A = this chain, B = another copy of it.
Amino acid sequence: MSQQRHGNTPGNAGAVPAFPDLPEATIARLPEYLRALHNLAEAGSDTISSEGLAAAAGVNSAKLRKDLSHLGSYGTRGVGYDVTLLIDQIEYILGLDQRRAVALVGVGNLGHALAGYDGFASRGFRIVALFDADLEQVGKAINGLTVRHVGELRRAVVEDGITIGVISTPPSAAQGVADDLVAAGVTSILNFAPCVLSVPAGVDVRKVDLAIELQILSFHEHRKASLTALPGGLVGEGGNQEAVGS
């Protein structure tokens, strides 16, 4: 993956803005750094050491410094990073300076909860439309929006400038919804349905599968149980903390 030094101000006159291609694991950690930095800024910190930021974000400091170097952020020896500047750099890279319009399809139990999730709006993601195939749901008001029939999805994507689709339908419906989103021009999908989506190159999919998360925990539980069952009283190993995408 190419790694280019990224200037502080995006786009100098006449130059093509460089945009780093980052490892997926780095991309997933940037939002954690951002959250920690916002907390620090609120607490009044102007600068933060790499160790301090790493501790706040739950990663080791060498990994943090490596991640930020991809952005062209190197900190100052003995001082650390400028909090405000680093916030700007990360928000720019994550494209959070743009407000993104989101469509959510499937307003069952989980979809309904997602439609009301505060954490989206606070980061510039506006859910602008809700859809469902169930006529019993169509017309309902959720969080200030009226649920529309999924047949209107393609038109709404174009009219509302939607770039991100959230799929919280049953698995049997998810591929069809993905196809509609893609055909309408959406290139980013957040999939909560427990299935693998087939999408063309150029479309990014992030999958959140709660059952898989529990199965991963179950593996660790099983392994800990088997280790503590070893003869001679050998002690089991420590656990670990894995964030999504790391």
Contacts and interface: CB of A to CB of B under 8 A. Distances in A.
Interface of A: 16-17, 19, 21-22, 24, 27-28, 30-32, 34-35, 56-58, 93-96, 98, 100, 102, 109-110, 112-114, 116-117, 119-120, 122-125, 163-164, 187-190, 194-197, 199, 201-227, 229-231, 236-245
Contacts of A30: 215, 219
A21 B222 CA distance: 11
Given A215-B123, A218-B100, A206 B242 contact: yes
Given A202-B239, A206-B216, A244-B245, A123 B211 contact: yes
Nearest to A245: B216
Number of copies: 2
A35 B187 CA distance: 26
Nearest to A228: B202
A110 B100 contact: no
B187 A22 contact: no
A187 B219 contact: no
B212 A245 contact: yes
B100 A221 contact: yes
B188 A217 contact: yes
Contacts of A112: 109, 113
Contact of A125 (B24, B214, B223): B214
**Residue in A190, A214, A222 whose Cβ sees the most chain B Cβ within 10 Å:** A214
